[in-house]
Chain A
Amino acid sequence: MLALFPELTDVNGDAQNALVLARRAVWAGHLDIRVERLAAGEAPTSTPVAVVLGSTTDPVLPALLAALREVQDDLEGWIDDGVPVLAVGTGLEALTRAIVLAEGRLDGLGLVPAIAEPLPSRAAGDLVVRATEGDLVGYENHSRGLVLEAGVPPLGVVRRGVGDGRGSDGVRHGSIIGTRMHGPVLAKNPALADAMLAAALGGPVSVRGETAAAADAAAARIRTALLASA
């Protein structure tokens, strides 16, 4: 499980989704899975089973884009091979064609057919999204939304919160799953985590044991409370 540039992309704990995937893999009996962290400027030495790219703050975005460009060929190769990628917030924006900022426009990597444009106002609060994996819950705090090109599906429909504006959140494009739900989105939504794990490991996964049960029970209570108010 590869966490990309966690020193830049863990502001909201997004990079910890790599830990969530690795723990769940172990809980499902894949004992050889562990988290690898790639720092900006380092070259990947092996092919990951899944990739997590978290969000960073606007002043650090240019540095994140520069680091991503250095591994762009690797990243494109993994995506072509179907390696699942979770991209969150500005990490997702970095994969689009462009990011529109107040002071100008930054070119993205162009791996997601969309651009990131400013929202009318900052979105901060709970976010509930109806997706094929079920209702997903999380927390958002950002000031831009993705404008997807025609035919590109979002992750899901917003039931509460803002997401990318226009009633939807995130994107599904190839093996990339993108969202505005920052922090431990995969811990709070085990169904999404296990769908990514199944894609990563090439077959359905089923977590077992007391720790997994305790974690998923806590996640279920968080989800129930949020969905009740959605």
Chain B
Amino acid sequence: MSSPRYAPAVLIGRGVRLAARLRKAGGGSAVPGLVVNRVAPGFLGDVLSSFPEGLVVVSGSAGKSTTTKMLVAILVAHGKRVFTNPSTANITQGLTSALLERASITGRIDADLAVLEMDEGHGARLADRFRARLVLLTNVMTDQIDRFHDAQQVQAMLGRIAARAADAVVLNGDDALLTALAPHAEVVPFGVADAVLAGAPRGLGYAATTPQRITAGTRVVAVTGREARIEVRGEPLSVRLPAKGVHYAVDAAGALAAAERLLGGAFDARTAVGALDAMSPVFGRGEIVTVRGRQVEFVLVQNTASFQLNVDELDEGLDQVLVAMGSDVRDPSYFWPADTARIGRARIVSGSKADEIALQLLYQGVTVDRVEPDLGRALDEFLALPEPDRGIKTIVFTADAMRRTRSHLGLAG
């Protein structure tokens, strides 16, 4: 809703953003949002509802960043002008700040539609302030137990977000907690074929998996390394994934299913596949970067299931691994169920929770050469090691350690 009444709030928010950046380069991204939400509480909801082709909300325990980026890439390749938020801005204040970045003085953003990743807790709380055209739900995993006490609670939050969908709720049809939701809008499931599930020895990581696979709709029918076969409208497409792993194939299936629904007759399978092929690896997930002349693979872990899935995807016998756990993990207990023996040897364990994750690794039988809580020092030493005998230098980190790593190494994001 374009309205001059937001001009003061937008100006204040920009002033605060400028002040925050002058104080600390790259800092203060949530602060402007905090201020604007205080002076103009209607701003966020009104801007979210102002896109001519509507709002798409992506939420769930894991995979929402990847799925959001894939969906945006497909829509952009089809000529849509899309507003989206960086994955670090998926909670209320950050979202408002992200909108401020692009909003005109009257609180309007020049884009056809918005595709926004929303944290499940904040999304549920915001739910009565927006109306979405489509809601895309990835999965429910046992995640952040100190925030969300159990999976049923996460399910209820996603139910509140799904209730805001007008046209469709595209959801993971293999996740029993999602298929149990009963939104008003039409449910469009995506999922994997029997053979794909059978090939995942530890399952898909959902809190509860449905007894039956879906037989129609968008389905992952095969995954080999970074190649996936995904069936859309009955036609098998060869999709290149941003990194190895069935979970990326499932993310791609969700993005394809949502894109197909949003674009209708304009959806073109080749355009969609081309967009996924061209996607640069998503921020921190299987991303390979070159820093100080060394190739390094970044692996982001967010909860027990993603820790397990990502460790299972590591090449065996890696010679140089750094594991860093940051202060984002309030209760490291929930990293304990993961079987991390495959890591074999960690050259350095770091981050503010270095001792906690070192303890987990040691009891799992991983050799830990050194515990260095100072992440900057750990990164400098790790990068200075000669090129590894096997594989490439690999850094496994939690979100907070990822942010600090990128900042220390002068990488964007």
Query: Hey, which bits of chain A sit against chain B, CB under 8 A?
Result: 10-16, 19-20, 23, 57-59, 122, 124, 139, 141, 182-184, 187-188, 211, 214-215, 218-219, 221-222
Contacts and interface: CB of A to CB of B under 8 A. Distances in A.
Contacts of B319: none
A100 B308 CA distance: 35
A122 B360 CA distance: 27
B355 A16 contact: no
A218 B359 CA distance: 6
Contacts of A214: 358, 362, 368, 371
Given A16-B337, A57-B152, A124-B146, A218 B331 contact: no
A191 B363 CA distance: 16
A218 B145 contact: no
A8 to B, nearest CB: 12
Interface in B329-368: 331-337, 355-356, 358-360, 362-365, 367-368
A16 B333 CA distance: 10
Nearest to B338: A13
Interface string B132-165: 0000000000100110011110000000000000
Contacts of A12: 145, 331, 333-334, 336
B29 to A, nearest CB: 27
Contacts of A122: 149
B150 A58 contact: yes
B363 A19 contact: yes
Contact of B336 (A13, A58, A221): A13
Given A13-B333, A222-B356, A222-B359, 12 more contacts: A12-B333, A14-B333, A57-B151, A57-B152, A58-B150, A59-B152, A141-B146, A141-B149, A183-B334, A211-B367, A214-B371, A215-B362
A184 B337 contact: no
A16 B334 contact: no
Contact of B333 (A19, A183, A215): A183
Contacts of A20: 363
Nearest to B332: A183
A16 B363 contact: yes
Interface in B282-339: 331-337
B152 A184 contact: no
Given A59-B152, A141-B146, A13 B359 contact: no
5 contacts: A12-B336, A13-B337, A15-B337, A57-B151, A141-B149
Contacts of A14: 333
Contacts of A124: 146
A58 B145 CA distance: 13
B195 to A, nearest CB: 24
A214 B355 CA distance: 10
Nearest to A59: B152
Contacts of B331: 12, 139, 141, 183
Contacts of B371: 214, 218
Given A13-B334, A13-B336, A183-B336, A141 B145 contact: yes
Nearest to A11: B142
Given A10-B337, A12-B333, A57 B150 contact: yes
Nearest to B362: A215
Nearest to A188: B359
Nearest to A185: B333
B362 A211 contact: yes
A204 B61 CA distance: 45
A215 B337 contact: no
Contacts of A59: 150, 152
B355 A222 contact: yes
Query: Across chains A and B, which 7 residue pairs bring their CB atoms closest together, nearest first?
Result: A183-B333, A13-B336, A57-B150, A218-B355, A215-B362, A12-B333, A16-B336
Contacts of A15: 337
Nearest to B304: A13
A183 B291 CA distance: 36
A139 B333 CA distance: 8
Contacts of A184: 333, 336, 359-360, 363
A184 B365 CA distance: 15
Nearest to B150: A57
Given A183-B331, A215-B362, A11 B145 contact: yes
Contact of B355 (A23, A57, A139, A221): A221
Contacts of B333: 12-14, 139, 182-184
Contact of A215 (B145, B334, B363): B363
B334 to A, nearest CB: 6
A187 B367 CA distance: 16
B145 A23 contact: no
A219 B355 CA distance: 7
A200 to B, nearest CB: 17
B177 to A, nearest CB: 11
Contacts of A182: 333
A161 B241 CA distance: 45
A217 B333 CA distance: 18
Interface string B361-400: 0111101100100000000000000000000000000000
A156 B358 CA distance: 27
B349 to A, nearest CB: 9
Contacts of A139: 146, 331-333
A214 B365 CA distance: 12
B150 to A, nearest CB: 4
Contacts of B150: 11, 57-59
Contact of B335 (A13, A19, A141, A211): A13
B332 to A, nearest CB: 7
Contacts of B365: 23
Nearest to A211: B362
Interface core residue of B151, B363, B371 (most chain A CB under 10 Å):
B363
Nearest to B331: A139
Residue from B150, B151, B362, B371 with most neighbouring chain A CB atoms (10 Å): B362
